[in-house]
């Protein structure tokens, strides 16, 4: 079973700064990694799929990188509205279940 | 506008059953695998179950295997989760979520989520 470990647990930054969030897999997941944003009281929203592809409607300030076991989500020029918990997620064709990381809480 | 709307949550006692439903709209439901993901109070996301686009294949997290059953009705664009023998640790918000389209390359991620339905198991 693949385990996803996110770091840091909490990140406090100011508007305009850059945030770098990390997700490490216990074994190679190729580029099969997605990132989600979950604001308080809301459902998660897909940001990045395939490690580096922005989902529809996601601003270019959000970018994903990495492959194999180490991945990053970068948010440039932070805004107050970016305050949320960010999760990474992996899934393969088989078995078809998904794994989520524990999340990083971003405070602006 | 594409939508997923869950219903059926509530408060039940340990050992009881509950059936969740998810109504889909504005996309071709039968083209996508569908999943349930849950979130316990103050905790992270936990994947629960998946059903293939045709409904023929189901797969479950170990924590719910043998107790929960996922199913779908493509003629009505609905997804269901039958939850039996509920435990205290099943308390969570349950989200219905859709796999991305195979053609878009996002099929291994979840590109649409419902607003969630709350399940509380309490004695």
Query: What was the pLDDT predicted at A98?
Result: 96
For B71, how many CA atoms within 13 A lie in the half-sphere containing its CB?
A: 9
Question: Average pLDDT of chain B?
Answer: 96
Residues in chain A closer than 8 A to B106 (CB atoms): 34, 46, 49-50, 53, 55
% of chain B exceeding 70 in pLDDT: 100
B105/chain A closest Cα distance in angstroms: 7
Query: What was the pLDDT predicted at A93?
Result: 87
Residues in chain B closer than 8 A to A56 (CB atoms): 111
For A21, how many CA atoms within 13 A lie in the half-sphere containing its CB?
A: 36
A29/chain B closest Cα distance in angstroms: 12
- Beta-carbon separation of A96 and B116 below 8 A: no
A61-98 pLDDT per residue, tens: 999 999 999 999 999 999 999 999 999 999 998 889 99
A50/chain B closest Cα distance in angstroms: 7
Q: Residue B106 — very low, low, confident or very high, per pLDDT cuts 50/70/90? A: confident
- Could you say which residues from 2 to 41 on chain A have a Cβ atom under 8 Å away from some Cβ of chain B? 32, 34, 36, 38
Q: Mean per-residue pLDDT for B26-52?
A: 97
pLDDT of B103 > 80? The answer is no
CB-based burial of residue B89 (10 Å sphere; 0-12 exposed, 13-18 middle, 19+ buried)? exposed
Query: What was the pLDDT predicted at B2?
Result: 86
Interface test with B, best of A49, A51, A56 (most B CBs within 10 A): A49
Question: Average pLDDT of chain A?
Answer: 97
Query: What was the pLDDT predicted at B82?
Result: 98
B58-98 pLDDT per residue, tens: 999 999 999 999 999 999 999 999 999 999 999 999 999 99
Q: Mean per-residue pLDDT for B103-118?
A: 91
């Amino acid at each position: 079973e693949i385990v996803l470990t996110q770091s840091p647990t909490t990140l406090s930054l100011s508007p305009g700064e850059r945030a770098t969030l990390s997700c490490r897999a216990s074994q190679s997941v190729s580029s099969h990694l997605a990132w989600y944003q979950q604001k308080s009281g809301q459902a998660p929203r897909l940001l990045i799929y395939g490690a580096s592809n922005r989902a529809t409607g996601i601003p270019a300030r959000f970018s994903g990188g990495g492959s194999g076991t180490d991945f990053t989500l970068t948010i440039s020029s932070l805004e107050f509205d970016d305050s949320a918990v960010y999760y990474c997620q992996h899934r393969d064709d088989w078995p078809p279940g998904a794994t989520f990381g524990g999340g990083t809480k971003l405070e602006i | 506008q594409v939508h997923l709307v869950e219903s059926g949550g509530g408060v039940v006692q340990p050992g009881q059953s509950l059936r969740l439903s998810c109504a889909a709209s504005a996309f071709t439901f039968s083209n996508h695998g569908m999943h349930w993901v849950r979130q316990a109070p103050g905790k992270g996301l936990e994947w629960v179950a998946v059903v293939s686009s045709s409904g023929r294949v189901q797969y479950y997290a170990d924590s719910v295997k043998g107790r929960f059953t996922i199913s779908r009705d493509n003629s009505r664009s609905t997804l269901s989760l039958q939850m039996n023998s509920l435990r205290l640790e099943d308390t969570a918000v349950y989200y219905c979520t859709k796999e991305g389209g195979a053609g878009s390359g996002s099929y291994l991620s979840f590109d649409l989520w419902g607003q969630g339905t709350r399940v509380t198991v309490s004695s």
